Structure 1
Amino acid sequence: MKASKLFNVSLGVIFITMISIPLITVNRTAGQISVAENRALASFPSLKTVEGTFNTQIIKEYEAWFNDNLGFRDEFLKLNTSLQYKLFGNLTRTDTIVGKNDWLYYVTPEIIKDYQHLNLPTSQQLELWGDSFKLINEYLDEKDIPFITMINLDKKTIYPENYPSSIYKIGEVSRTDILVDYLSSKEKLDIFTPKKALFEAKKLQTLYSPRYDNAHWNNYGAFIGYLELMERVKKYYPNIKILSWDDFEITPYEREFNLYDVVRFKETDYAFKLKKESNAVQIKDKFKDLNLIHSDLSVSYTNKDPNLPKVLILGDSYLYNFLTPYISESFSEMNFIYTDNINRLKSFIELYNPDIVIYENVERMLDGTLPSIVESSESFKSYNSYVNLPVSSNPSFWLDYSNGEFVKSQNEVEVDTSKKLTNFVGWALDSQEMSTATNVFLKVGNKYYSGEYGLPRPSVSEYFNNSNLYNSGFSININTEELIDAGEIEFIIISKDKEHQYKPIKIKIVEK
């Protein structure tokens, strides 16, 4: 009896000691770095915000601090990671699964659906996407600007043989296959994937990162994609410069993916280095005034040869991380903007006047960008579509801000000459119908710009007590130099029924 009681007491003491040590040894050093995760741990929360008000998120922030700073946290993470991998072949990273031959794949529920072909588009979705691409294509055709769409392929598509066998695929036709076939045949869009070239090349060389990078192709695969894209460009510019394998020194090197310093995956990759000095120079801070999503993933280059064509690319990491320096060798100016900003495509075209436009996306990201294209508040109708409409008086318009600063007068606007771009924000209505308009155009010199129209303006809706006016806002970016040269600008409102336009609102430009 005594032995049993002593055992129970001892067990209790051991249990209390085990749960107490992590609490006693909790980290109290602000800004501590987790060695296992290579990141700063959450700081202890404050009762007040920087504005001096009560911190309503204090409980949530305390929970984050406690979870991050519990004693021996790094050791527990490492132990759990090691056991999960050794016993079950799993990683403790929720965005990564281990396939056959220790290949690592990036996963989300949407990506697994894509692999299984459970996300095939409906006819309605195809029509919506087709209509949106058709508008873009027609707009660029009117300007005689070629438009190329490149859908890049996930690792799971090119290397399905190493995907976990527990995940089953239904049929052989993917959403990408259906989308490319529909847009190329019905809408006559210049759209392609490098699928055939990649499948041919994989017979000779590994084209995607097996273990270091769970999501992307490697430098070999990227260069196959580059060649396919540039051959597409060559249809429109037969003399375009295209880099070849011979332009590079290609050297092997080892790289390693290290998870919490306990699970390591190694592979051989190949570094590509141009043999000759590059003709292209990166331009810093080109897009700093555009308020881009992921502005750090956008980049601009200019070339020593000013006679080459200019290109605008809306793309993702498949180009940004691997190919933008090589693409820039072929163009006098290359503006690469991260594809999450695709809903502002027309604004970028008007700003940078490209000779060719390329939209690139990896297939797993189509869930984000295709709806953005459909739901964009931009209109791809140019002012030429409305130029002959009759003119009505009494426009309802207000210019609120110029580069974030309140506009003091509706007769003139101060423009900051130290900024390359000027952003105008305001609202406009169809005053006869007391509804939102079709679009608002900004005339600068002999050019017309439209930007975004249909942005939320709840204050306008409340002021007029009319819910139909909620989406009456506009935002237009324009090169500051053009404004200064023009000296005066005009805003032109197109009526809701597209049957008339309103008398231009003239505003003088004043240098600040």
Structure 2
Amino acid sequence: MPLLMSFRRWWAAIFVGILLLPTLGHVLPDVAGPPPTVLEPEARWWEDAARRLDPYINNTFGFRGAVLTAHLSYVRAMGDSMTSRVLKGEHGALFLNEDKALEQSIGQLVRPEPLGKLFDMVKLLNDYMTAHGGRFVMLVPPNGHTANFELLPAYARRLKKAPTEYDLVAQRMKEAGITFVDMRPIMAEAKKTGPVHWRYDTHWNLRGALLGFNAAMAAAGRPDLEVSEGDALEPPVPSYVGDLGRLSGIRPAEPDLDYPGKAPMQAPRNPVAVPGVMPEVSKTDPFVPYAYASGHPGPRILVIGDSFTQGLWEGLLAYRASVYGWMHHRLCRFDMAAVERFKPDILIYAPTERAMPCKGEPAHWPPTPGPG
């Protein structure tokens, strides 16, 4: 009698194949997964393998991306989430763990098609402003992961590679001759004399916001509209405030630094609305657009941005513009007709880094049907 009957041989082959799957997973294609947190085993791992080797194995098993993606889909289907929305970094720093912001900032995620749609839409805005005698500027506030890169966990810093999406956008805008403000070197230089981005919040601080506004005005050819730090900011004071702290329930061990704003950074109490310009949105929408008249001379400035500019730039815009407006970019799907109605002298497109790629089909031109 043979050791393995014919039907048992098939079962044996299937069993051996299953055992080999993890090994094959190291050489076969896999879907993208979260960056590994351990890149190599500890030194002399064989002396205490359970403690020193297991973390490495748990980060490098076969079909890791497929397994983790399937697990995340399962958890979401169950109506739960085992993933933290906040990533802990060095010296107590906190980072957003959503929107693939970490992977984007360290170059592990590059999305050519959404970036191509972004470029096409930005070119439309630039061509429109050029045709109407105005100035267009694109400015990208960096993710906290980019601005405070040195505070990321060590494993994330070691995974950094180029080009990142920010690199590609900056290069594409330069090649097309579109005015683009790369905030990364500006903020890196400013950090030598004080913080420019919160350690416990997703946003830049008031100093970072002021740097961004001034850089946009200079890029638009209006350095006379810049506001000095001395005129806009008080000396820094300790603060424990931060949206990432609230999300995670973590109270920082040491305070961050805040720069209280002087009058130019403060929004007017009773601004004069300019009717018929901005699209209507729900009252519960956190990003209500606005168009106001300041009552003094200056250019008409419109900003298409997000929470990095919504309130933080309102006082500065009121201080320097005759008419100023803001609306959310909606991931490239904003109301293009509002640009025509506003008739800006300076148009600034300012999505934060993690919101650069377009989602779906972007706004197009003309925004309304043409004659005939």
TM-score tier by shorter-chain length is 0.5 to 0.7
* Aligned counterpart for 2:190 among listed residues 187, 193, 201: 201
Note the alpha carbon deviations across 1:215-259, whole angstroms, 9 max, x for none: 1111222222222122123x1x46x43211221351414334565
Query: Aligned pair 1:116/2:106, yes or no?
Result: yes
**Contact preservation (8 Å) 2:85, 2:248:** no
Query: Per-residue deviation at 1:278?
Result: 7.3
Structure 1 CA distance, aligned partners of 2:133 and 2:228?
29
Query: Aligned pair 1:271/2:259, yes or no?
Result: yes
Distance 1:241-1:366 versus aligned 2 partners, 3 A rule = closer
Question: Between Structure 1 and Structure 2, which shows a larger proportion of helix residues?
Answer: 2
Structure 2 CA distance, aligned partners of 1:102 and 1:196?
24
Q: TM-score, normalised by structure 2?
A: 0.67
**Contact preservation (8 Å) 1:153, 1:195:** yes
Distance 1:208-1:129 versus aligned 2 partners, 3 A rule = closer
Q: How does 1:85-484 map to 2 (within 5 A)?
A: 94-108=84-98, 110-122=100-112, 127-167=116-156, 168-185=158-175, 187-211=176-200, 213=201, 215-233=202-220, 235=221, 237=222, 240-248=224-232, 250-251=234-235, 252-256=237-241, 263-265=250-252, 266-274=254-262, 282-283=271-272, 290-292=279-281, 294=285, 296-305=287-296, 307-340=297-330, 342-367=332-357, 370-371=358-359, 374-376=361-363, 378-380=364-366, 440-441=369-370
**Contact preservation (8 Å) 1:298, 1:336:** yes
Query: Per-residue deviation at 1:141?
Result: 1.6
Distance 1:128-1:209 versus aligned 2 partners, 3 A rule = closer
Larger radius of gyration: 1
Structure 2 CA distance, aligned partners of 1:127 and 1:284?
36
Note the alpha carbon deviations across 1:295-340, whole angstroms, 9 max, x for none: 64433332221x3110111011111242221122111010111121
Query: Per-residue deviation at 1:365?
Result: 0.8
Query: Per-residue deviation at 1:440?
Result: 2.2
Distance 1:198-1:277 versus aligned 2 partners, 3 A rule = closer
Structure 2 CA distance, aligned partners of 1:283 and 1:336?
14
What residue identity is the alignment partner of 1:198?
Answer: M
Q: Provide the residue aligned with 1:4 in structure 2.
A: none
**Contact preservation (8 Å) 2:281, 2:288:** no
Structure 2 CA distance, aligned partners of 1:149 and 1:182?
12
Q: Provide the residue aligned with 2:44 in structure 1.
A: none
Structure 1 CA distance, aligned partners of 2:132 and 2:326?
20
Other structure's SS at 2:185 match: helix
Structure 2 CA distance, aligned partners of 1:274 and 1:117?
38
Note the alpha carbon deviations across 1:263-298, whole angstroms, 9 max, x for none: 421413333332589795534695797233746443
**Mean CA deviation greater in 192-201 or 288-297:** 288-297
**Contact preservation (8 Å) 1:219, 1:270:** yes
Q: Which structure 1 residue ranges, 5 or more long, are not aligned? A: 1-62, 68-91, 382-438, 442-491, 493-500, 502-512
Structure 1 CA distance, aligned partners of 2:265 and 2:115?
45
Other structure's SS at 2:369 match: strand
Structure 2 CA distance, aligned partners of 1:116 and 1:243?
32
Other structure's SS at 2:209 match: helix
Q: Which structure 2 residue ranges, 5 or more long, are not aligned? A: 1-77
Q: How many residues align?
A: 286
Structure 2 CA distance, aligned partners of 1:121 and 1:262?
32
What residue identity is the alignment partner of 1:273?
Answer: G
Structure 1 CA distance, aligned partners of 2:248 and 2:109?
37
What residue identity is the alignment partner of 1:255?
Answer: Y
Structure 1 CA distance, aligned partners of 2:265 and 2:145?
36
**Contact preservation (8 Å) 2:264, 2:316:** no
Identity across matched positions, percent: 15
Q: TM-score, normalised by structure 1?
A: 0.50
What residue identity is the alignment partner of 1:290?
Answer: P
Note the alpha carbon deviations across 1:378-398, whole angstroms, 9 max, x for none: 3239xxxxxxxxxxxxxxxxx
